[in-house]
Amino acid sequence: MILACQKIEKAFGGKSVLNNVNFLINEGEKAAVIGINGAGKTTLFKIITGEYEADNGEVIFQKGSTYGYLSQVIDVSSHRSIYEEMLDAKKEIIEMEKKIRQLEKDISILSGEALESAMESYSRLTDRFEKANGYAWKSEITGVLKGLGFDESQFATPIHTLSGGQKTRVALSRILLMHPDLILLDEPTNHLDLDAIAWLEEFLINFENTVIVVSHDRYFLNKVCTNIADMDYGKIQLYAGNYDF
């Protein structure tokens, strides 16, 4: 279990939107939350991420787990470039690489116990770096940005000058590059062309961690999702299968 929602209730202006919602998502599952407009899908996501507070019930995350959330509306006014935003998503990897380079310099001049200690640290750090796919972080950034429709000539573009759809694609790129334990996507295909949708489908299918997506794109749901949470009249019914099932 990576996420559980227990007896979630939420009302706005006296009108019930979520009524005793219960569901559980296991590690590695690709789940979709479906339902008509106004069924409470986005409200549920905002309760899961803490943007809204439930009137009753609780949200339980697996201890120590991380998540990334793509909302439908992205309001980003950063003066950083697209590429700089991606570097921030990889800052832990980049810091590890800097430490590895420094340890290599240290090892070349140290001796005795200090050398042994530096070599042990180097061995541990390079192992972590390799498991995190650290040697490929630059090509990963380029691959994700290109996959979601950005040309390399756009990488230096300041984010605050982008359109709303482009900002959404930047936010999605950042989330994918962070490799969180759980990805929550609210209508991720809205600002993607067919090539980018196909690329995202393959990325999520091969993504080793957990994905929960809200989407009206039936083909996308059939390709990616193996579990469906159907929202109707404030309640959820779970199905083990894709959208067609």
Predicted local confidence at residue 43, as pLDDT: 94
User: Which pLDDT belongs to residue 180?
Assistant: 96
Beta strand pairing call for 56-61 and 3-12: antiparallel
pLDDT of residue 71: 92
pLDDT greater than 90 at residue 78? no
Identify the residue whose tokens are 């295909």: 189
* Confidence (pLDDT) at 72: 86
pLDDT of residue 187: 94
* Residue pLDDT, tens place only, 201-244: 999 999 999 999 999 999 999 999 999 999 988 889 999 999 99
Whole-number pLDDT of residue 74: 78
For 139-186, the pLDDT digits (tens) are: 999 999 999 999 999 999 999 999 999 999 999 999 999 999 999 999
Tens digit of pLDDT for each residue in 101-130?
Answer: 999 999 999 999 999 999 999 999 999 999
Tens digit of pLDDT for each residue in 14-66? 899 999 999 899 999 999 999 988 889 999 999 999 999 999 999 999 999 99
**Mean pLDDT (the chain, rounded):** 94
